[in-house]
A and B are shown apart, each in its own frame.
Chain A
């Protein structure tokens, strides 16, 4: 078999060998009757990027994805793929890869025929189709299942075939709606790595939908946190995680302590807070970009940034004595619920040898630069 094969020995174009597409949403809105599922949403997804729509169930992730796919018409706004308006382009002309939670393989076709399905509509010849199917199966590491029927495969294998079927057509954009949610926990983590590897290899612009924050943090270049049909925050995983832009994001991603405080002064370089039981805290100004005047604010401190220790704390940290009330032992780490004056806080710390015991007195310390300040 000879054919146009790249260096990597595959007919599928890899990252460098292809034109990458952008997706742009401008003020899109979706109403179902009176109910607004997506509010005036604007987003720009970079070419070749892996963008995740993350949010709790019912926040409008699927609705947004289906509008990009062309399965739903937006009530208002514009959708562009590669700079071209696609609002009026039907789904079968958008050249998209679509992967669903329940695989959606064609039950009456073999694996090979499933993968070849989209090639039929692209005028790909017989021998080229066979080669592409073979390459796609190799890419998802299932070279020997071509002649089987979907029902003869495990869930994880079926999802790999669904992925192979959607990327073999060289889509401009790959859309995935909770593709790992139907899999067992262990398999899910393996598939997460696998999916990311494949996406990086072929470099297709990808929009991924999930309600699982660890999937989002592990896989994405950009996370779009959504709540009730609106974008709460968009940014790189570390930025969204470390600098939550709203109380919703702080609570939804990881475990956070949120303390009511007062801003007593603010200048170019710092924000001065007065918080009950924590006293006066001076925080770098870039940790509270949304705070512009004095008054009530919210202080956000991630649970893993609150360090508990029996020794004296080091310099440059704020430290208070506290008492451990409950210990949730997790093996390599533990989650502690502590009482610090009137405040109840949580801390997630790695365990050296033994966790702190319940009822023990500890010093709880944190760096001001690990805090985030949000308007109240």
Chain B
């Protein structure tokens, strides 16, 4: 087999893999605009009726609201803790630094199911009931590593002498943080926050374990609806989810890139 042939085969396989991955997504998006009652081909016409239905469905609206609040709070708490943890780990000598760093990053490496069960068992042992706060805590633990990785990467590129210059000019450490460090860190903070939001919005495994009865997020709602039937509404909901979870990080990256260009790196 010659080289040209080998490369053609690799290209062909790559192409197939991508088709395999993206075709179902494309089908969902396409079918969400289908006018017919049945979520299947052939499409009988182009329509937004499933999106309208979606907007009328109380359960879905409630789930959507829960997901938005959960995502926003997760992003807020995760970025706050993430920034503080990164500062402590990079700017100050904290005893047991490596251990803390490893523990904070570990949730990325542990399979999500394991993490979910572990947290649940831990709380059972403490006889704490499931609640929205617990769900939120789970999402924070789960998204924190991403925020820390993004923020730390940016923090090491902010020169210490810039902060020292600010202090020499009369800014207290806290004023220095808010007038120098945080603005320079902002692209990473925003990117980290958007990641956290997206991951939280998208999460199903952990959420299924942690959510209290009666509370549904968008993914768990879809999951519940799928047990009954495949309604075209789900296709529409899927399309909204795809738009959000793909669009937000892209938006975040664009903003971050723009801002770091402005602040000169």
- Do the two shown chains form a genuine complex with each other? yes
Give A contacts to B, CB under 8 Å.
Answer: 69, 71, 90-98, 100, 102, 104-108, 117-118, 120-122, 149-151, 162, 165-166, 169
B interface residues, how many (CB within 8 angstroms): 23
Given known pairs A104-B159, A104-B162, A107-B263, the reply for A69 and B168 (CB within 8 Å) is yes
Docked complex Cα distance between A102 and B161 (Å): 8
Residue pair A96, B171 in contact (C-beta under 8 Å) = no
Residue pair A97, B168 in contact (C-beta under 8 Å) = yes
Residue pair A108, B168 in contact (C-beta under 8 Å) = no
Docked complex Cα distance between A93 and B262 (Å): 31
Residue pair A121, B162 in contact (C-beta under 8 Å) = no
The 7 closest A-B CB pairs, nearest first, are A118-B169, A121-B170, A107-B264, A98-B168, A151-B264, A108-B263, A104-B161
Given known pairs A102-B159, A106-B162, A107-B263, the reply for A92 and B183 (CB within 8 Å) is no
Residue pair B264, A117 in contact (C-beta under 8 Å) = no
Residue pair B264, A92 in contact (C-beta under 8 Å) = no
Q: From residue B178, how far is it (CB to closest CB) to chain A in Å? A: 12
Residue pair A104, B264 in contact (C-beta under 8 Å) = no
Per DSSP, chain B at the interface is: helix
Give B contacts to A, CB under 8 Å.
Answer: 159, 161-162, 164-173, 175-176, 179-180, 183-184, 262-265
Residue pair A108, B164 in contact (C-beta under 8 Å) = no
Given known pairs A104-B159, A106-B162, A107-B265, the reply for A92 and B180 (CB within 8 Å) is no
Q: From residue A119, how far is it (CB to closest CB) to chain B in Å? A: 9
* Nearest neighbor of B158 in chain A, beta-carbon distance: A107
Residue pair A166, B169 in contact (C-beta under 8 Å) = yes
Q: From residue A258, how far is it (CB to closest CB) to chain B in Å? A: 39
Docked complex Cα distance between A106 and B265 (Å): 11
Partner of A150, one of B166, B179, B264: B264
* Nearest neighbor of A100 in chain B, beta-carbon distance: B161
Docked complex Cα distance between A106 and B262 (Å): 12
* Nearest neighbor of B262 in chain A, beta-carbon distance: A108
Q: Which residues of B contact A107 (CB under 8 A)?
A: 162, 184, 263-265
Q: From residue B257, how far is it (CB to closest CB) to chain A in Å? A: 15
* Nearest neighbor of A101 in chain B, beta-carbon distance: B161
Residue pair A96, B263 in contact (C-beta under 8 Å) = no
Given known pairs A107-B263, A108-B183, the reply for A165 and B161 (CB within 8 Å) is no
Q: Which residues of A contact B173 (CB under 8 A)?
A: 92
Docked complex Cα distance between A94 and B171 (Å): 11
7 A-B pairs within 8 Å (CB atoms) are namely A69-B168, A98-B165, A100-B165, A104-B159, A118-B170, A120-B170, A169-B170
Residue pair B170, A108 in contact (C-beta under 8 Å) = no
Q: Which residues of A contact B265 (CB under 8 A)?
A: 107, 151
Residue pair A121, B184 in contact (C-beta under 8 Å) = no
Given contacts A90-B167, A104-B162, A166-B168, could you give 19 more A-B pairs where the C-beta distance is less than 8 Å? A71-B164, A90-B172, A91-B168, A92-B171, A96-B168, A97-B168, A98-B165, A104-B164, A106-B165, A106-B166, A106-B180, A107-B264, A108-B262, A117-B169, A117-B171, A117-B179, A121-B171, A162-B165, A165-B169
Partner of A98, one of B164, B171, B180: B164
* Nearest neighbor of B263 in chain A, beta-carbon distance: A108
Residue pair A108, B165 in contact (C-beta under 8 Å) = no
* Nearest neighbor of B164 in chain A, beta-carbon distance: A71
Residue pair A92, B168 in contact (C-beta under 8 Å) = yes
Q: Which residues of A contact B175 (CB under 8 A)?
A: 92, 121
Docked complex Cα distance between A96 and B164 (Å): 11
Docked complex Cα distance between A107 and B166 (Å): 12
Q: Which residues of A contact B170 (CB under 8 A)?
A: 92-93, 95, 118, 120-122, 169
Partner of B264, one of A120, A149, A169: A149
Q: Which residues of B contact A165 (CB under 8 A)?
A: 165, 169
Q: Which residues of B contact A69 (CB under 8 A)?
A: 164, 168
* Nearest neighbor of A96 in chain B, beta-carbon distance: B168
Instruction: Pick from B165, B166, B175, B184 the residue with the most CB of A within 10 Å.
Output: B165
Docked complex Cα distance between A121 and B179 (Å): 12
Given known pairs A107-B263, A108-B263, A151-B264, the reply for A121 and B161 (CB within 8 Å) is no
* Nearest neighbor of B160 in chain A, beta-carbon distance: A104
Residue pair B167, A104 in contact (C-beta under 8 Å) = no
Residue pair B169, A169 in contact (C-beta under 8 Å) = yes
Q: From residue B181, how far is it (CB to closest CB) to chain A in Å? A: 11
Docked complex Cα distance between A91 and B160 (Å): 14
